[in-house]
Structure 1
């Protein structure tokens, strides 16, 4: 088991992993798309303070909205609130930002109606955005590192999660595994174009295959 966990770390979690290199390229691409980022106010829907603290770039201000409570000791340039990004409180909805950022969140919000609410929030908060999501038809499901996992029946996905050692948070409990499997709904390019019709759709690739999809809007 420990050997297999080390394998996950090698591919996803370790500083020199394939996942870490992909994240570094994504940050560089993000900074290239928004060269004035250092003067911008950014709202991050579903992100974490730790991701921004590790990032090689720093906006002037970052406002994080997440369902999980943030750490207590945040730097002055980061603000964090516990809220649902699909149903934001009025004070957040009434604030204008320079940019909305979201990384691998829209596939977790739960169904078409809530994805549309999420996209509506993105459009309402700022005139610029960067919304990234893993691509449904990449052959390896990125959350669970299992080939074709997203195409299997729920029962099969549940049983795989109870036994597959490369899962980020393993569980042997059937109900817990089912909940984890049901939480992720990967999106197609067509769906991303539906939710972000005025955005430029860009692709991240691995070995020539589309790995993730980014809805990008750079200019008001």
Structure 2
């Protein structure tokens, strides 16, 4: 059974503002508890957004090569945790194990790999006549993701945001949260600067 009762904010696992607000996650295939999580409130969101805002100037100023290095580290960590991600998806949403291993996990990995390949060749600046068109990170991204195909939905938002220099706050579905928690562990182990990714 999973127990994720802390949030990942500013590069560390922190206790929620209200510790007694927890939710039991039910495996829909067995109708048995799969784990417990904390439910966040306004104070938790404010902390996460403040961390992402504080990290944005330095994260957005990183070079393309530096962001490539972080994405490569996330991809390596993701590949190493593929079995854990598949197991989490099976327990949190009742997906058959074979489907979680063959489709769910690889779909999320594919988004990170695609973001990496695009980042390697993306034109952030182009001269058009007498003008220079510069594409810059927009800021802090708030990401709310659904329960179905959870890591796919998460990765298709998180990967391009990090690749383009945006910081983020991720709010996964409370009924399918475990794969997002594992992704936070992967991001942490990849050495992402504090505040770049918050959950």
Fold-level match, TM-score > 0.5? Answer: no
Higher fraction of helix? 2
Kindly indicate whether structure 1 or structure 2 has the higher relative contact order, using CA contacts under 8 Å at least 6 residues apart: 2
